[in-house]
Structure 1
């Protein structure tokens, strides 16, 4: 009975330590610190070694490479034949390039002109093409994912054009991996303009094409269909130019 008190204290002390240490340092049957088997120090070392793999930092998942490495010359992304068809009497058939500090990632070009038809009035046309390329980034995502996000933003902008009336959005087939067309009417310079904006994505590139027109001095405003067809034609050529530039 006299020896049971120290033994009971030892049992209670062992109950308070982690299970992995109990098995090594609190052997049953002997009060001696010279018991055979693993010592507490060795057990702790073993426990630390076994826990090491779980504490290692997780390996980062590789980001998918960007599909396209460069953009074409945007002013050459639409054929001269198409420009002549959509913008008769363009001020510059070669187009006016948009200012850009990084042509490999963003560029634009615009054409506009007024076709004088004498007593039948005049037809004004304006075509604008913009291309945006997104590189893959470990923190921001793949180029394709980033382009998809900015596709949504560009579409929202087109849908909320200031002063737009009768705005409609519809899917466009045959233009990249995904495309939508936004059409609307806009009153300016005392004339009714018909607009069509095509937002398209191919790989890690977003293409934005806007085409509009109006009639002056008795000439009629171009039809919705004419403007949409023209915008889609230019958009298809711009997307094809991106793919051709990366072959």
Structure 2
């Protein structure tokens, strides 16, 4: 009986010790288990809002670009004005038997927000900027396409020039795309001499469009509490974003005197 009791006592102690060791190991394991990793962060967007596209171009500049249409502004529809905005103007200067001078101007702005899945806002804007320039160079029916890099205009800017033959006449098209931080501005400006009027000079149209887009970039800075300059010039992101927003400004063709102007991603995308 004494031997049996002693054996039973030793067995119980061994089990207790083994149990204590298991509890200690579980406790140690719990204390060293890594916590859930923190969500990745991206640098915040520089600009939080957009200006009213219809007042982004000063009246004096509008008078130069669309002499007979400075008051013809048509604001584009948008489900979120802080993210996208656009406005268009058209001008027809009728010179009677000598013909007419036609001008059409469209300004579109798109702002990006930083997102963990899409990346930093300025990188998304860089990707969209590059696509806009590419689209402007591949318009159906475009002739004599020329890409002109622009300096001193936001973080990066380019002008795409081409000729577009339509039933009304030969149109000289200028599409200027510029990025400042996380905002991309696309300015479409075309002109034509109709019914015998002289075709406008492409160089003059490009200079006018470049001046106008600089003023639009300045309005972006002003809308966000900056000065009257072109806003922060920013730097071109070293790595472009992998994805751009699922939505982009709707496309519509450049406008002739016989049609109503509306915002577009690239003017004269369809002729």
Tell me the TM-score normalized by structure 2.
0.71
Instruction: Tell me which of 117, 123, 130 is aligned to 2:95.
Output: 117
Give the corresponding residue for 1:69. Answer: 48
- Within 1, Cα distance between the matches of 2:25 and 2:125? 51
Instruction: Tell me which of 10, 14, 22 is aligned to 1:41.
Output: 22
Instruction: Tell me which of 128, 153, 170 is aligned to 1:175.
Output: 153
CA deviation after TM superposition for structure 1 residue 149, in Å: 1.6
Give the corresponding residue for 2:118. Answer: 140
CA deviation after TM superposition for structure 1 residue 170, in Å: 1.9
CA deviation after TM superposition for structure 1 residue 102, in Å: 1.2
For structure 2, the 5+ residue unaligned runs are 1-13, 226-271
Please give the root-mean-square deviation of Cα atoms over the aligned residues, in Å.
Answer: 2.3
Structure 1 residues 87-145: Cα deviation after superposition (integer angstroms, max 9, x where no partner): 1111x515111111211111111111111223432110011000011112222222212
Instruction: Tell me which of 188, 193, 203 is aligned to 1:215.
Output: 193
1:88 aligns with 2:67: yes
2:33 aligns to what SS in structure 1?
helix
1:170 aligns to what SS in structure 2?
strand
Give the corresponding residue for 1:18. Answer: none
CA deviation after TM superposition for structure 1 residue 163, in Å: 1.1
Instruction: Tell me which of 166, 170, 175 is aligned to 2:144.
Output: 166
Q: Identify the structure with the greater helix proportion.
A: 1
2:216 aligns to what SS in structure 1?
helix
Instruction: Tell me which of 206, 210, 218 is aligned to 1:232.
Output: 210
By relative contact order (CA 8 Å, sep 6+), the higher-ranking structure is 2
- Within 2, Cα distance between the matches of 1:66 and 1:94? 33
Bigger CA radius of gyration: 1
Tell me the TM-score normalized by structure 1.
0.78
Instruction: Tell me which of 96, 107, 113 is aligned to 1:129.
Output: 107
Contact 2:168/2:194, CA 8 A, preserved across alignment? no
Give the corresponding residue for 1:52. Answer: 33
